[in-house]
Amino acid sequence: MSILVDKNTRLLVQGITGRDGAFHTRMMKEYGTNVVAGVTPGKGGQEIEGVPVFNSVEQAVKATDANASIIFVPAGFAGDAILEAIFAGIKLVVCVTEGVPTLDAVRAIAVARTHNTRIVGPNCPGVISPGKAKVGIMPASAFQPGCVGVVSRSGTLTYEIAANTGEFGQSTVVGIGGDPVIGTSFIDCLKMFQDDPETKAIVIVGEIGGNDEERAAEFVQQYVTKPVFGFIAGQTAPPDKRMGHAGAIISAGSGTAEEKIRAFQSAGIDIIYEPEQLTERLRAKL
Let me know if 245 is a catalytic residue: yes
Domains and CATH numbers, the chain: 10-120 (3.40.50.720), 138-285 (3.40.50.261)
pTM of the model: 0.93
CA-CA distance, 181 to 123, in Å (whole number)? 10
Asked if 95 and 122 count as a contact pair (C-beta separation under 8 A), the reply is yes
pLDDT digits (tens, 9 = 90+) for 237-282: 455 444 554 444 444 344 677 888 999 999 999 999 999 999 999 9
pLDDT digits (tens, 9 = 90+) for 47-89: 999 999 999 999 999 999 999 999 999 999 999 999 999 999 9
pLDDT digits (tens, 9 = 90+) for 21-37: 999 999 999 999 999 99
pLDDT of 235: 57
Amino acid identity for residue 70 in this structure: I
Q: What is the mean pLDDT of residues 95-120?
A: 97
Q: Which of 118, 153, 200, 245 is catalytic?
A: 245
